[in-house]
Structure 1
């Protein structure tokens, strides 16, 4: 009997529009000969599933829905989480699924909570020798002086939501006059803000996954954009050149892949992740760990899977079956 796979998308943040695109990608990739695949949308107000263009409520008690077409209750056997941001990338959804005993594609609650918090994650990994930018953290109750921030970090400064993604509400600030507005914009997205010193260099990203005990790093993508940084327009509106595999030496390729595998294990990641770096003076600096990376048709992971000579449908089947076998 086919297992029922829920592609869980939506969420509580501005990244819902990206999540919908990733859901469409995952839906196209998953083997529908092997699985029954459903699109499940989560918002703060309701959880729904779409079947043949009809929408039905999801029963949160057991993660199921009643399908009037077949006059049966359908219970989901697996959740492929493709929510960027809360509650799919911060561990909340994982905790719910853990309580129900339902396997899922992404990392667990603790790992998700760690990696979602950029400031905590980067400083955690810094303890293991991973190089990161200097940073400062603010929350709604923090008393701060923008002059002190400028003195500690210098300019340019990146100001971004601490638990956000897709470069929403992210600013590259070059002067003191711009700083307060950038902080306010970031606070408009999340209640925590991270500010990082600027590192001059070239950006790269590396996907990674684990099947059984083997961690595999994918070919690296080089990111070239005429924009000030790899912002939303570059990521989703084509203002970028993405080169896979990256035009770097074999030694640097191996080093970034080694760091990616190490970060995968140190954070307790699961499924497919993506780690972003910037190389400055031949030194890789960690930018961010993405435990629910974008999976649109043109996202980095599908590109890297293809460059590795792999079939993404087969890989997703391996990811799903690996979790069923772990039960």
Structure 2
């Protein structure tokens, strides 16, 4: 009997449209022979199942079910394709854990922790994970630009603490531009992370649970045509994403070992994609994404392809792991 699979997509953040693209790619590539597949669009206003004619069927939030043609449908597994809140910050994970419905991403605590860049880096530092010098701000805090620059130096990066896809991020070269960059980040989140600039090679590494084992995918080198790996570089083709990365064997070994260590230390599962800057042979962690992009052009599917894993197999493996 076919399993009923709900692909959740959309969400409440600026990444809504990117999530729709990821969810639709999963929808196209999952096996119809194994699964009955349902696209579920989640926004602040409504949760609905989109059928093939784009007609909407309301989701019953009390048990995450839907009535179609007079029949009530329950789901055997949820494929999480929501980037940002509420799919990447632990809210949906906690909801499905309470309902006892398997889902493809990590558990709620790990999702909340990794989505909060500040707390993630603070948690990993005692394990010897290196990262940039940083300064934190909450909405309403006094912004002492001189003190901040003295701590992190110039240029520096100003980031929304809980946002993805490079929304709310700026690279600042002059002290007089710092406050404007902070206000830009506050448009995305009420917490801001200011980090020192690390000049080195940027690499992205996917770590997944595949056939019951942790698997590190081939590394991708990021070469942005812009000042940094911003939204346009990520989604509008203004970057080179080179897989496998053009780095030394020592650098590759160090990144692979560190990415696997982070995955296991945090108790992650499902798909993750971590970003590092290599300073000579030493990798410095930037962030960990637990619901990475899943379009054909996204980094993790590219890495899987180089590893000999097609999209149908990649997506099917996530469901199989969730159902174990």
Q: Is TM more than 0.5 here?
A: yes
Q: Check the 8 A contact 1:114/1:267 in 2, yes or no.
A: no
Structure 1: 4+ residue segments shifted above 6 A: none
Measured after TM superposition, the shift of residue 310 of structure 1 is 1.8
Aligned to 2:217: 218
C-alpha distance in 1, partners of 2:308/2:199?
32
TM-score (norm 1): 0.96
Q: Check the 8 A contact 1:275/1:288 in 2, yes or no.
A: yes
Measured after TM superposition, the shift of residue 269 of structure 1 is 1.0
Aligned length: 323
SS at match of 2:194: strand
Q: Check the 8 A contact 1:42/1:48 in 2, yes or no.
A: yes
For each residue in 1:262-290, what CA deviation from the matched residue of structure 2 results, as whole angstroms up to 9, or x when unmatched? 11111221101111111122221111101
TM-score (norm 2): 0.97
Give the root-mean-square deviation of aligned CA atoms: 1.2
In structure 1, runs of 5+ residues without a counterpart are none
Aligned to 2:308: 309
C-alpha distance in 2, partners of 1:155/1:143?
20
C-alpha distance in 2, partners of 1:5/1:271?
16
C-alpha distance in 2, partners of 1:143/1:180?
10
Q: Check the 8 A contact 1:206/1:274 in 2, yes or no.
A: yes
Q: Check the 8 A contact 2:132/2:196 in 1, yes or no.
A: yes
Q: Check the 8 A contact 2:254/2:281 in 1, yes or no.
A: no
Aligned to 1:37: 37
Measured after TM superposition, the shift of residue 212 of structure 1 is 6.4
Aligned to 1:291: 290
Q: Does structure 1 residue 204 correspond to structure 2 residue 195?
A: no
Matches within 5 A, 1:73-88: 73-88=72-87
In structure 2, runs of 5+ residues without a counterpart are none
Q: Check the 8 A contact 2:133/2:196 in 1, yes or no.
A: yes
Measured after TM superposition, the shift of residue 259 of structure 1 is 0.8
SS at match of 1:93: helix
Report which stretch shifted further, 92-101 or 15-24: 15-24
Aligned to 1:50: 50
C-alpha distance in 1, partners of 2:314/2:288?
21
Q: Check the 8 A contact 1:199/1:280 in 2, yes or no.
A: yes
Measured after TM superposition, the shift of residue 308 of structure 1 is 0.6
C-alpha distance in 2, partners of 1:301/1:7?
18
Aligned to 1:129: 128
C-alpha distance in 2, partners of 1:319/1:66?
26
Aligned to 2:319: 320
